[in-house]
Every structure is written in structure tokens, then in C-alpha cells.
Amino acid sequence: MKRKQFIAGAMAVVLALTPIQSVRAEGGVAVDEAHFPDADYREYVSSTFDKNKDGVLSRDEGTLSEEGYENYESTEPDDEDNASTESAGTPIQSVSVDKAHFPDDRFREYVSSTFDTNNDGVLSEDEIKEARDISCSNMGIRSLAGIEYFTEVWDLACDWNQLTELDVSKNRELDWLSCNDNQLTRLDVSGCTKLTWLDCSSNKLTKLDVSGCTQLKSLSYFGNNLTTLIGADRVDYVVEEVDDLSENHESSEPVDTSAKVVKVEKEHFPDKNFRKYVSEMCDENSDGWLSEREIKNRTTISLASNSGWDEDWMEEWITEDFGYHGIYREWWDDTRVDRKIGSLVGIEYFTELRRLVCSNNILRELDLSKNTKLEMLGCRDNKITKLDVSGCTELQKMSCYHNKLSKLDLSKNTKLRSLMCSRNKITKLNVSRCKELSFLECGRNRIGKLDLSKNTKLEDLICWWNRITELNIGGCKKLKSLECNNNRLMNLNVRGNKSLHYLSCSDNKLRKLDLSRCKELSELECQYNKLKKLDVSGCKKLKSLNCCENELTRLNVRKNRKLSGLDCSVNELTNLDLRNNKQLLVENIDCTYNPLRRIDFSKGSTRTIGTRTFEHIGGYRGKKLTFTVATKKEQQRLIKKMRAGDSAEFPTQAKVIVRKK
């Protein structure tokens, strides 16, 4: 169904961009640069509609005739209400990640690598649902055709590309859109009733209609050629160029006649650098005062001049999928200082503030108790010892890592969804009232116990490098990724975490690990513990296993047929049966420093064996080691490899036998 809709839409574009008469003509229309300037789109038209490959699009070619095109138009909803009804009643469907659905090569590659998590070339319903954050800025993308399939996306950043049109009318869950610095001549946000933040500055727009964006709080549209602006009068905060609107506009900013509230002076803003920012960025009429209107307009303050929203919010909130491990980009060695602000006294006057970024400064205290509408806070890389967010009952996302906090009171922040507080001195962390929390990163602190049993929506937990002896995640039924390595855990109960995909519990004191209910586990790192047994037979989706430096005497991976990486070095293994692990390449096996006597990879290949692959095994000289291979050819190849070994520890005296059929 999706493919048919796309082809119909593509043909509609063809007919819209070329005169109907030229298609009717006997010679048709040439599929060349003159008629189809975009190379990717021209290639698509040629391969899809030019059936006889003569370089000309005749009337009979393509999936739609003129009548079909008229019928296609007639099936469109007559009004916005009908469109909403249709969208609401249509379930999410899977869609192929191909040129038909995503014509732009670079956008298609981004979609494939970011959201097609199982690499099957299809976006499943679950993969579409989990795509909440799309960040494809500065990728040279010419078209976002296909964005309509992401019906659950919240945040979209596509700035600094080569887009000429953008239609997000089908993305009805969209909350945040950044499409600045493109070449847009058309922007359709008609269906985005939940949109709160829009930046479409530095484009080529002549008309902008945001009347359907009933929740819009912040709008930036400078650097365009607007002659018509509809619906901006209801927006709290608008950024526009001076004289940007003429008398022909349907909306214009009124002269500020509101009452003066606070004077921009040292008494109210003691820090000179913060005072300078307020004077330049918030005092819109430069009269030395903040008026009621100027305060109301200021919903966003960014005091980190080198940090944009992509860096401070996108990399922290990441995506709903999170990508499991490897998602967190550390900034611990980032010592830059932006505005050298030492105090934010005066921030309390900005009572409409919803987003605040003050990272990379020299703040020691931060009191936001009066900023009751604050939704997002980024204050990383300061010297903060005291942080008061007790009045921020609307707070959803907070990053305060790399400071000097010893405690953090989040008892009033019941709407918090994302928290990053690593690299502090926190000894106790209570998030029991943060019932909406889905992402928590609290690594490199001094936490001894961590109880997350009431955080039932938690999906990602990073609590590495603490002093944790007790970790309660029994109630975290949605947990997908857990990184609790480098702690002091003797026990780890993950029996209730059936959704777990990634588990890193290395460098602890674990003696046992029950993974019997972790059916979705694809990557396990449990090295540097004291495990004597490890049962991964129930983890049939396991792709990577690192269990080195334990006390294992047996390891059964026969049911882990998807295993592609194995490190079981420095254990007490005597037998290693890899017959069923066809995806496990020999160069991705490390079984060194084991008293192995038998290794069976008779269904694999010895082609890529190197001299270090099996060194230090089988009594450390291989005298009692037996390799089992599939064919005589592989037997000869392995023997040749062993004899050519340049390592004194390579098992040159091992036996190599061929498995009997």
C-alpha cells in the first residue's frame, strides 16, 4: 500500500512539473536534465516509468494515466479534519528502505544505518515507533521524501542541507523542528498540532502558515523573503529581522507598550557577562529594562555560545531507540569556557523560561526554583556544588554532568524523562518519584546503592564507575540497555528485564549471572568477574559475548547461532564447540590462555586464522590440543598455518582431524 501511494505521488509530481500537453504529445517528454533537474529524481523516473528505455516519457508509460492522476487527486481529503481522521485511523505499517520510499541517497543511507536496527532493509512497525528523534543535519540531503512514514517522531533536525521543500504535515507527533539554513521555498506544517518549537530561518520562504500549530511557543523565521505570515500572532516568542514584515503581511509584531518589570543593572544581574547577555539578547528595545512582553517572549536562553541545541539536547536525549551502548558521547575532557559566567542571579525574572543552556561556564551555584515552567536544562561542565530545581515541576530533560554536586534533589521533578548527572560527587541518588524517567546516566559518581524499582519506564541505564553494591532494577520491565560495569556488585538480578538488548556488567565481583529470561539479549560483556558458570542457551539473539578473565570451566554456545564475536580468554575451558556458530569468524574468536584440549569449528572456516588466534592454549604449547575441521582441505590449511606460526606459543604440535560425516 505504501509503495502504491508513493508511486502515485511521484507520478503526480511528474505531471505537476511537466505540462500535460507535453505528456500527451506523440513524442512525450524527454527524461533529461532540462525537464528533471535533480539527478537522483531523474534516475528514479527513468528506471521506474520509462518502460522502453528510450529516454522519453510517453503518455502511456508510468503507473498513472491522466485520468488516474485526476482520480488520485480526488482521493485526497477535502479538509484538515478529514486528514486527521484518516491519519488517526491508519495503523503504522512497515516500509521498505529503498529508493521508491526514500529517493534521496543520503537520507536513505541515514535511515538505514540509524533506524533499521536488524538490517533487513525494512522499517518494521516497532522500528518506526521507536524513531522519536531524527537528526540529519549537514548531510547534503536534497529531499526528505519518506519523512512521512515516521509518524511517531518528536524532534526533527534537518538544518544545513540542500532542501527546497519540506512537508511534515503527516508527522503529527512532532514537537521540535529545526530546518534552518536550507533552500526551502515551501514548508508545510499544517498537521503539526503538537509543534512547540520551529526554526526555519535562512531559507527562501515567501509564505509561512503556522496557524495550525496551536501549541507553538517559539518561532524563528529571519533570513527569508516572507510576504505572507499567518498565525504568528499567537506565538509567545518570535525571532524576526527588523522590517521583516510589510503592511501586506497578515500578522505583525505589536509595539511594546507593556509595563517595565526589572532594570538591567548590577543590582539585579550581578555577573557582568550574564548582564551583557541579557542586555543584548533580551532587552529587545534597548531601553535598559525588561518589560512584561520581553520576559514573556524569552522562553529559551542559551549561554553556551559554542553549543547548539543539537549538541546540548539531541546528544543528551538521543533517540528513543538509544542505539543501546555507545550512544553516550563523553565531554569530560572538554575544558573550554564559553561566556565565563560565574552567576545566574537574575534568571528568576524569566518566569516563562522553558529551555536553558548554561554549559561550559564557571557557575558554582544555580537556583532555578522560580523558573517553574522550565522543561529542559543543560548546565554541564561548570563547577556547580548546589543545584536547586525544586520549583521546576515541568522539567523533562536535564544534563548536569561534570560538576561538583554531592547531592541532587529531584523529588519535585515528577515529569523528568532524561537525566545525565555523571562526573559529580553524588553519594545517593533518589529518582523514585521520577516515574516518567526513560534515560538515566549517573556514571562516575560515588553512589553505593541504587534503587530504580519504581522507574517502570526506564529504557537506558548507565551507572558505571561508581561504588554500587546493590542495584535494584526489578521494576524496569522496559529496560533495553544496562551498563553497570566497574562497580562492586556481587549479585545482579536481571530476571525481570526481559527487554534487555545490551548488558555490560564487567569489572565487578559477580559469581553468578542468571540470563534465562533475557531472550532479547544481543550483546553481553561480563568480563573481569568471578563467574564459574555462564548459561547463555536462552539468549538465541546473542551476537557478541565477552566473558574473559573469569573462572569458567564450561561454555556452551551451541544455541547461539547468531554469535559473531567471542572472547572467552583467560578462563579454565577445556572444550570449545563452535560447530553451530556459522557466523563466528575465526578472527573474531579469542580463546587464549585456556587449557583447551578440543576446539571444534568443523562448520566454520580456517581461512583467516592468524598466528595469535589460538596462542597460549592447550597446555600453553598445544601438545594435547585437537582441532576438528570440516574437510581435508581445511585440515591442510590449518596445519600449514601452524607450521608457519611466528609465535613461540602457537600450538604447532596440536592434532588436526576431519569430522566424520
pLDDT of residue 630 exceeding 60, the answer is yes
Give me the pLDDT at residue 329, please.
Answer: 37
Q: Is 44 exposed, middle or buried (0-12, 13-18, 19+ CB in 10 A)?
A: middle
Strands 133-135 and 155-157: parallel
- Retrieve residue 263's grid coordinates: 532594570
Determine which of 253-257, 266-270, 366-370, 549-553 has the lowest per-residue pLDDT on average: 253-257
Mean pLDDT of 584-595: 84
Confidence of residue 61 (pLDDT cuts 50, 70, 90): low
Mean pLDDT of 538-567: 96
10-19, 24-33, 52-61, 549-558: which is most confident: 549-558
Predicted TM-score (pTM) of this structure: 0.60
Q: Which residue intervals of 56-184 are DSSP H helices?
A: 66-74, 80-89, 105-115, 125-130
Give me the pLDDT at residue 72, please.
Answer: 34
Mean pLDDT of 173-190: 93
CA angle 146, 147, 152 (to 5 degrees): 130
Mean pLDDT of 435-454: 97
Residues 243 and 222: beta-carbon distance below 8 Å: no
- Please report, for residues 115, 123, 547, the alpha-carbon distance to residue 151 in angstroms, rounded to integers and kept in the order given: 13, 12, 40
pLDDT per residue as tens digits for the range 201-228 = 989 999 999 999 999 988 888 889 888 8
Nearest-angstrom CA–CA distance, 381 and 280? 24
Determine which of 38-42, 143-147, 378-382, 431-435 has the lowest per-residue pLDDT on average: 38-42
57-66, 295-304, 452-461: which is most confident: 452-461
Nearest-angstrom CA–CA distance, 428 and 273? 34
SS3 145: coil
Beta strand residue intervals within 444-525, DSSP E: 449-451, 460-462, 470-472, 481-483, 502-504, 523-525
Residues 324 and 523: beta-carbon distance below 8 Å: yes
For residues 420 and 624, which has the higher predicted lDDT (pLDDT)? 420
pLDDT per residue as tens digits for the range 80-101 = 333 333 334 445 778 999 999 9
pLDDT of residue 79 exceeding 70, the answer is no
Give me the pLDDT at residue 614, please.
Answer: 58
| β-strand partners of 565 | 544
Nearest-angstrom CA–CA distance, 356 and 376? 6
DSSP for 557-614 reads: -TT-TT--EEE--SS---EEE-TT-TT--GGGEE--SB---EEE-TTS--TT--TTTT
For residues 283 and 255, which has the higher predicted lDDT (pLDDT)? 283
CA-wise closest residue to 402 among 366, 365, 359, 437? 359
For residues 50 and 169, which has the higher predicted lDDT (pLDDT)? 169
Nearest-angstrom CA–CA distance, 223 and 651? 70
Nearest-angstrom CA–CA distance, 105 and 101? 11
Give me the pLDDT at residue 207, please.
Answer: 92
pLDDT of residue 535 exceeding 90, the answer is yes
DSSP for 87-117 reads: HHHSPP--EE-STTT--SHHHHHHHHHHH-T
Mean pLDDT of 550-568: 96
For residues 4 and 46, which has the higher predicted lDDT (pLDDT)? 46
Give me the pLDDT at residue 9, please.
Answer: 42
CB atoms within 10 A of CB 405: 19
Nearest-angstrom CA–CA distance, 420 and 409? 14
pLDDT of residue 526 exceeding 50, the answer is yes
Mean pLDDT of 310-331: 36
CA-wise closest residue to 28 among 3, 5, 46, 2? 46
pLDDT per residue as tens digits for the range 388-425 = 999 999 999 999 999 999 999 999 999 999 999 999 99
Q: Is 326 exposed, middle or buried (0-12, 13-18, 19+ CB in 10 A)?
A: exposed
- For cell 478529514, what's the residue? 82
Residues 191 and 210: beta-carbon distance below 8 Å: no
Residues 245 and 267: beta-carbon distance below 8 Å: no
Give me the pLDDT at residue 318, please.
Answer: 35
Confidence of residue 115 (pLDDT cuts 50, 70, 90): very high
Nearest-angstrom CA–CA distance, 228 and 205? 9
- Retrieve residue 218's grid coordinates: 517559539
Give me the pLDDT at residue 570, please.
Answer: 94
Give me the pLDDT at residue 64, please.
Answer: 39
Secondary element (H or E) of residue 302: strand 300-302
CA angle 355, 356, 357 (to 5 degrees): 130
CB atoms within 10 A of CB 26: 6
Percent of the chain at pLDDT > 90 equals 56
Confidence of residue 658 (pLDDT cuts 50, 70, 90): confident
Confidence of residue 65 (pLDDT cuts 50, 70, 90): very low
Residue type, 96: S
Size (the chain), residues: 661
Nearest-angstrom CA–CA distance, 139 and 114? 14
Mean pLDDT of 358-387: 96
Residue type, 52: N
SS3 439: strand
Percent of the chain at pLDDT > 70 equals 77
Give me the pLDDT at residue 615, please.
Answer: 56
Mean pLDDT of 559-570: 95
Give me the pLDDT at residue 162, please.
Answer: 93
CA angle 420, 509, 502 (to 5 degrees): 45
CA-wise closest residue to 6 among 137, 99, 74? 99
Residues 32 and 40: beta-carbon distance below 8 Å: no
- Assign a CATH topology to domain 96-239: 3.80.10
Confidence of residue 314 (pLDDT cuts 50, 70, 90): very low
Nearest-angstrom CA–CA distance, 500 and 324? 10
Residues 524 and 544: beta-carbon distance below 8 Å: yes
Nearest-angstrom CA–CA distance, 407 and 392? 17
Give me the pLDDT at residue 617, please.
Answer: 60
Mean pLDDT of 247-257: 43
Nearest-angstrom CA–CA distance, 339 and 379? 13
CA-wise closest residue to 498 among 479, 475, 518? 518
pLDDT of residue 167 exceeding 70, the answer is yes
Instruction: Tell me which long-range contacts 486-489 makes (C-beta under 8 A, separation of at least 24).
Output: 487/463
Secondary element (H or E) of residue 262: strand 260-263
Confidence of residue 319 (pLDDT cuts 50, 70, 90): very low
pLDDT of residue 33 exceeding 60, the answer is yes
Q: Is the dihedral of CA 257, 259, 265, 270 positive or negative?
A: negative
Residues 121 and 97: beta-carbon distance below 8 Å: yes
pLDDT per residue as tens digits for the range 338-354 = 689 999 999 999 999 99
Give me the pLDDT at residue 208, please.
Answer: 93
Give me the pLDDT at residue 624, please.
Answer: 66
Q: What integer best gives the mean pLDDT of the chain?
A: 81
542: alpha, beta or left, given left = phi > 0 and alpha = psi -120 to 50?
beta
